[in-house]
Amino acid sequence: MPGSGSNGAVTRSTLRQQIADALRDEVLAGRLQPGQEFTVKEIAEQYGVSATPVREALVDLSAQGLLEADQHRGFHVHEYSAADYRGMIEARSLVTDGMFHSLVTGGMQQLNAGRAAIALAGVRRRGEEAQRAATAGDLNILIGYDLRFWRELSGLFGNPYLTDFLHRLRVQSWVCTVQHLRRVEDLKGYLWSGHTELVDALARRDPEAARAIVSAYNAHSLALIERLDTGSGPSGV
């Protein structure tokens, strides 16, 4: 029956996404280490599923730059350098600079004042949660809220392609930074916590202030990662 095939495809697609999300979270949590190797069979057995959705999920994560395929052997977690992170920051900046300008000069004006305020208030609440986690040095909670913060903020732009692209960049950035930050025992005071300040700048329709906030964030993060990449501690950043 045609319906059965369709339902099966939907189920497999959903399972594929669930596995990809779970493995991404494993990488972000540091439970899958840079360079760590595994096979489709091992992951399928771990999650108790067939090999097909696992293989598809691993291919998806490879396309996103989180994993690398080892011909005839399996996959391993991609290892990022400080130079990689510098490239990600440059790409992120090109996207967010244009987004901030558009949001302030036209994007949010498509919403009436009440709806724009409500939308920004929702993003700000997400930012408050991210800020609390950053201040406490709780990396796992920060990553979750930070990704939601940027997805919701970019969603105000109204272009789903840009939102998806920036989200992928943010995920890659976190995969890169996690590989370095997990070496630090206490991250209190070292994680960026300017989320609400950024939202407030956009609410004032001040794209230059928003750019300055993000530029300071990028400079701080890059300096920290470069120090850790050379084996130095985070002190003095």
Q: What was the pLDDT predicted at 12?
A: 59
Q: What was the pLDDT predicted at 107?
A: 56
Give pTM, 2 decimals.
0.84
Q: Total structural domains in the chain?
A: 2
- The per-residue pLDDT for range 14-53, each reduced to its tens digit, is 899 999 999 999 999 888 888 999 999 999 999 999 999 9
Decide if 6 is inside a domain.
Answer: yes
Decide if 187 is inside a domain.
Answer: yes
Mean pLDDT of the chain: 86
Three-state DSSP class for residue 80: coil
Last residue of a domain, one of 38, 60, 77: 77
CATH assignment of the domain containing 144: 1.20.120.530
Q: Identify whether the C-beta of residue 104 lies closer than 8 Å to the C-beta of residue 207.
A: yes
Assign residue 68 a region: left if phi > 0, alpha if psi is -120 to 50, beta otherwise? beta
Quote the domain boundaries for residue 25.
2-77
- The per-residue pLDDT for range 178-226, each reduced to its tens digit, is 988 888 888 888 899 999 999 999 888 888 999 999 999 999 999 988 8
* pLDDT level of residue 2 (50, 70, 90 thresholds): very low
H/E element holding 67?
strand 67-70
Decide if 155 is inside a domain.
Answer: yes
Q: What was the pLDDT predicted at 108?
A: 55
DSSP characters for 83-114? HHHHHHHHHHHHHHHHHHHHIIIIIGGGS-HH
Q: What was the pLDDT predicted at 146?
A: 96
Question: What share of the chain has pLDDT > 70, as a percent?
Answer: 87
DSSP characters for 145-195? HHHHHHHHHHHTTT-HHHHHHHHHHHHHHHHHHHHHHTT-S--TTTS---H
Say what angle helices 160-181 and 139-155 make with each other, to 10 degrees. 160
Q: What was the pLDDT predicted at 157?
A: 82
H/E element holding 68?
strand 67-70
Question: What share of the chain has pLDDT > 90, as a percent?
Answer: 58
Residues 132 and 166 in one domain: yes
Q: Dig out the tokens for 102 from the structure.
A: 């558009």
- The per-residue pLDDT for range 54-100, each reduced to its tens digit, is 999 999 999 988 999 987 789 999 999 889 999 999 999 999 998 88
Decide if 192 is inside a domain.
Answer: yes
Q: Quick one: 146 exposed, middle or buried, by C-beta within 10 A (0-12, 13-18, 19+)?
A: buried
Residues 141 and 53 in one domain: no
Q: Dig out the tokens for 60 from the structure.
A: 């998806």
